Amino acid sequence: MIRRLLLCIVLLMAGLPALADTASGIAALDRGDYAGALALLKPEAEKGDPAAQVKYGLMLAQGFGVARDPAAAVEWFRKSAAQNHPEGQYMLGVAYDIGDAGGIDRAAAEQWYRKSAEQGYADAQFNLGNLLANGDGVAKRPAEGAEWVHKAAEQKMANAAWLYGMYCMAGTGVDRNVLAARYWLAQATALGQPKAAEALDTVEAAMRKIEAEGAPRTAGGDGSSKERAIALPDAKTESEGIKAEHLVTRSYFPGWSWRAQSLMSGVDNRPIDAIELVDAKGATRTIYFDLTNWFGNME
């Protein structure tokens, strides 16, 4: 047993220099030192390191420090993808998507994006979601597309947060929900997405109209979780807060009826109301409210 353990340690340590060379090569590539990156990454790619293979392929695809050679790049992406490397799978998907793999083949792009997305690679989740939502060269599946974009947004990808906010604003693949649109467009703005601020202004203007018609002012999140509970800044007492919760659900979740309510603890032990809603088909969803500024105040 000890001998086997020592052998494993020896084998692991034998691979450390290669890992270091690949990491140094990737760092060189990131800072624009293409000669240094090429000297480090190409040998490791030829030895079979999937991370080096995809980065060397990227250099060939973009012409970074070498003559641009899309066909050779695709072969390196394919080698990396064959080892189940998520970035290699993603880049092979891109190659099929843009035509570098011998012509545009969106079905193949979907296949490779999906393999990468299922491993949690945010860029692949975003591209797969966008592809499915648009149905360009593949079967159009807006709901699945929105779900994949949402997964990428949850990883703080600025473009995904912006696009998912736009989906919520328009009702593309999801129920139209301006609370969710506001939340995700605010996230995208904070992450530096250049188109998000203008879209956020549009959503907030729409919300001001809804508020003018009787909906209470809201803050915080979109109500999709305890961590993203909706705050009601103008409610100061329990009666005002409960009334405001009902008005919010009627104003922002049309077609859904209040079925149950439960009190729980949220972030930092804040009091949270979990409101279970039901639609005409029997589907349910839960909306969360932050009660901090009015819970327990009966005046």
Report, as an integer, the average pLDDT of 68-92.
Answer: 97
% of the chain residues with pLDDT over 70:
93
69-73, 161-165, 268-272: the lowest-pLDDT one: 268-272
Q: Is the pLDDT of residue 13 over 50?
A: no
Report, as an integer, the average pLDDT of 107-122.
Answer: 98
Q: What is the pLDDT of residues 19-32, one digit of tens each?
A: 678 999 999 999 99
CA 47 to chain centre: 33
CA distance 25 to 20: 8
User: Which pTM value belongs to this model?
Assistant: 0.89
Q: Is the pLDDT of residue 10 over 90?
A: no
% of the chain residues with pLDDT over 90:
89
Is 183:228 a contact under the CB 8 Å cutoff?
A: yes
What confidence score (pLDDT) does residue 2 get? Answer: 60
DSSP-based helix, strand, coil % in the chain, nearest 5 = 60, 10, 30
Q: Is the pLDDT of residue 15 over 70?
A: no
Q: Is the pLDDT of residue 243 over 90?
A: yes
Please report, for the chain, how many H helices and E strands are present, in that order. 13, 5
In which band, very low, low, confident or very high, does the pLDDT at 18 lie, cut at 50, 70 and 90? low
In DSSP terms, 242 is beta-bridged to none
State the average pLDDT for the chain. 93
What confidence score (pLDDT) does residue 266 get? Answer: 86
Q: What is the pLDDT of residues 199-224, one digit of tens each?
A: 999 999 999 999 999 999 999 999 99
Is 127:90 a contact under the CB 8 Å cutoff?
A: yes
In which band, very low, low, confident or very high, does the pLDDT at 5 lie, cut at 50, 70 and 90? very low
What confidence score (pLDDT) does residue 197 get? Answer: 97
Report, as an integer, the average pLDDT of 96-108.
Answer: 95
Strands of the sheet with 219-220, listed across from one edge: 219-220, 230-231, 284-290, 271-279, 256-265
* Residue 75 host element (H or E): helix 70-82
Is 196:185 a contact under the CB 8 Å cutoff?
A: yes
Q: What is the pLDDT of residues 174-203, one digit of tens each?
A: 999 999 999 999 999 999 999 999 999 999
Residues of the chain with CATH 1.25.40.10: 17-119
Q: What's the CATH superfamily of 17-119?
A: Tetratricopeptide repeat domain (1.25.40.10)
What confidence score (pLDDT) does residue 163 get? Answer: 98
